[in-house]
Each structure stands twice: as structure tokens, then as C-alpha cells.
Amino acid sequence: MALNRRLAVLIATGAALFAIGVLIETSDTHGEPAAGHVEGEPGESEIAEGAESAEAHEEGEEDETLFGIDLESTPLIVAAVIASLALAAGAWARPDSSVLLTLIGIAMLAFAVLDIREVVHQLDEDGSGLALLAGLVALLHLAAAGLAWRLERTAVAQA
């Protein structure tokens, strides 16, 4: 398989695993209401979570924002997956575009940094399964960044 196609597969696999991780995390944090819970009334767990959240906010504990942007907002997650798939398609179709390959390298490196941040967050929250998945996604993104830059150097040398 050509290197550009391997790059596209790395990116698409990373995007798919990222989406799966988000779905798992969302289902874990937004599970079914407790038995006997009346819709519209806060249950004991919601009251406890609200109190813990308020305490964490008062103590300045880290939340899921970066520079005021909610990293776990649905539109941002969808945009990240779509951007990843577009970059994968670009890598497949335009293996000789040094500008595109540089952009892919930068984007994959940025995603890897966010993935590593998620690993740390999940380990803090005792989410070892999600931490492992985020670590795998980080490795895929780092591999894609490295391969993109290798392809970019080749494209520049051939130009």
C-alpha cells in the first residue's frame, strides 16, 4: 500500500476511534436515570454531582475547556471528525501536495496533544479504559503526523 494511502487509513482510523471514545464517554456520563427517579426531578446522584461540580469549580479544578472553548461540545467534535476525514481524503487524492501534507502534520500533532490531555483527564477520573483508547488515538495521530512530514519531505525533494 502506498504511503499516502497508509496516511489516509491512519487518519480515518484515528477519527473513528475518537468518535467511538466520545460516544462511550457520553453514554457513561449521561446514563439512564436511577430506578424510581421521576422525570424532571433531580435524583440523589444529580444533586451530589451538582454539589461536586460546584465544589470543583470553586476550587479552580480543571474543566474541559481550553482558552474558553468547550472541547467536548458536539459541534466541535463533529467538526474534528469531518476535518479528519477531509484530511484523510486529501492525503489519498493529493499525495504530492506539500502544503496539504504540512497541514495534515500540524493538525495530527495538535490532535495528539489534545488526546494526551484526554489520557491525563481520564486517568484522573479513573477511566482507565477510555484513557487507553485516548492513548491509542494519540499514537495514531502521532504516527500520521510523522508520516505526513515524511511524505512532505519527499514531495519537496521531487519538486
Q: pLDDT tens digits, residue range 64-114?
A: 777 777 777 888 899 999 999 999 999 999 988 999 999 999 999 999 999
Domain membership flag for residue 103: yes
Residue 33 and residue 40: Cα distance in Å, rounded?
11
Nearest C-alpha neighbor of 84 from the set 40, 6, 19, 4: 19
Angle at 84 between CA 89 and CA 80, to 5 degrees: 150
Angle at 49 between CA 24 and CA 118, to 5 degrees: 40
Per-residue pLDDT at 41: 55
| Host domain of residue 152 | 3-29+43-158
Does residue 26 come out as left (phi exceeding 0), alpha (psi in the -120 to 50 range) or beta? alpha
Domain membership flag for residue 36: no
CB atoms near residue 115 (< 10 Å): 24
Determine the 3-state secondary structure of 45 from DSSP.
helix
pLDDT at 49 over 60: no
Instruction: Specify the higher pLDDT residue, 127 or 56.
Output: 127
CB atoms near residue 121 (< 10 Å): 18
Domain membership flag for residue 37: no
Cβ contact 101:148 at 8 Å: yes
Domain membership flag for residue 102: yes
pLDDT at 60 over 50: no
Domain membership flag for residue 115: yes
Handedness of CA 110, 112, 118, 120 (dihedral sign): negative
